[in-house]
Amino acid sequence: MAEALKSGEKRWQDRSWTSSDGLKLHFRDYAQAGTGSRGRPPILCLHGLTRNARDFEAVAERLAGDWRVLCPDMRGRGDSDYARDPMTYTPAHYVADVEALLAAEGIERFVVIGTSLGGLMTMMLAAVNPERITAAVINDVGPVIEPAGLARIREYVGQGRSYETWVHAARALQEANREIYPAWQLPDWLRMAKRCMVIGTGGRIVFDYDMKIAEPFETEHGPAPEPAIMWGMYEAVARRPLLVLRGAHSDILSAEVAARMNVRGSATELVTVPGVGHAPTLDEDEAVAAIDRLLARAV
């Protein structure tokens, strides 16, 4: 593994690319280092609906040096431009943006780690050309999304709440998500708050995304394709070495759908992360070990 960082040292570069409709989009580039890592495909990390590149800090910093890791902010999140048309906040547009990033960086083969929305994007990328994906992680999502989980997301996305201090923000996250991460303590909630929020122009703590991402999400199934279409896309990614992660208490990916995903994949490993809901943070012991097993098959 790469040497440990000095206190305060940053391992990534902040870089950007341009979407087809002219948005400046941001990504973190954790460059690989050393002769032992040459020839490995880069790892592309795709975040969830209201999240951003910071969601992958733990996994990216753990793998950085041995792998090149790219963590993009989707349009409307983090340091990426907000969309001029909120109806472009759909998986199809996000995938087009990722394709533009891959083209700009000259990336022909890659590993992909997709959480929630990022997992749907992973399936869609595979449907275009599965052979370029050397291995994939689909984190707590599947071709069928449970209605209860979808309803829960609709309750909070785009609400635009703000908080006076980081502790207030952390306590609010704890109140809303304690059933998802029941073992977490205040430092864990503070860490989550600083990944998904920023200090706004008025000095208050706000969520780090465009509230208008909720507009396409208000349709019956959200902006994702129908389940029958998603199963076909899943079949494409399931041809590759694949890890399906599921939070034991997930209300997005049911145990039944996860089991069907496992059966349909010839090189698929299904791992249930105990004690969490939607979605595992990828730094749980079970997730870390499973990702390392997958990466051993990706080179």
Q: How far apart are the first and last CA of the chain?
A: 16
203 and 229 in a single domain? The answer is: no
Give the model's confidence band at 227: pLDDT under 50 very low, under 70 low, under 90 confident, else very high.
confident
Contact 156, 207 (CB under 8 A): no
Same domain, 178 and 282: no
- Average pLDDT estimate for 177-195: 97
Percent of the chain with pLDDT over 90: 84
Please report whether residue 1 resides in a domain.
no
Domain assignment of residue 56, yes or no: yes
Burial of 14: CB neighbours in 10 Å, binned 0-12, 13-18, 19+: exposed
Q: Evaluate whether residue 281 is within a structural domain.
A: yes
* Number of structural domains in the chain: 2
Q: Which residues pair with 64 in a beta bridge?
A: 67
Structure tokens at 94: 């996000």
What pLDDT shows up at residue 180?
97
| Residue 116 and residue 169 in one domain | no
Can you give the pTM of this predicted structure? 0.94
Q: What three-state secondary structure class fits 294?
A: helix
Band of the pLDDT at 35, cuts 50, 70, 90?
Answer: very low
* Together in a domain, 179 and 44: no
Backbone angles phi, psi at 293, to 5 degrees: -65, -40
Q: What is the pLDDT of residues 228-270, one digit of tens each?
A: 899 999 999 999 999 999 999 999 999 999 999 999 988 999 9
Residue 8 has pLDDT above 80, yes or no: no
Task: Confirm whether 44 is domain-assigned.
Answer: yes
- Same domain for 204 and 220, yes or no, is no
Q: Given the DSSP bridges, would you call strands 205-207 and 197-199 parallel, antiparallel or unpaired? A: antiparallel
Q: With respect to residue 200, please indicate whether it lies within any of the assigned structural domains.
A: yes
Which CATH number does the domain housing residue 234 bear? 3.40.50.1820
User: Does the pLDDT at position 57 exceed 90?
Assistant: yes
Domain boundaries, position 198:
159-208
Determine how many CB atoms are found less than 10 A away from the CB of residue 248: 13
Sheet of 162-163, strands arranged across: 162-163, 205-207, 197-199
> 8 or 285: whose pLDDT is higher?
285
30 shares its domain with 56: yes
Tell me the per-residue pLDDT of 98-144, one tens digit each, with 9 for 90 and over.
999 999 999 999 999 999 999 999 999 999 999 999 999 999 999 99
Q: Does residue 153 fall inside a structural domain?
A: no
- Residue 142 contacts residue 258 (beta carbons within 8 Å): yes
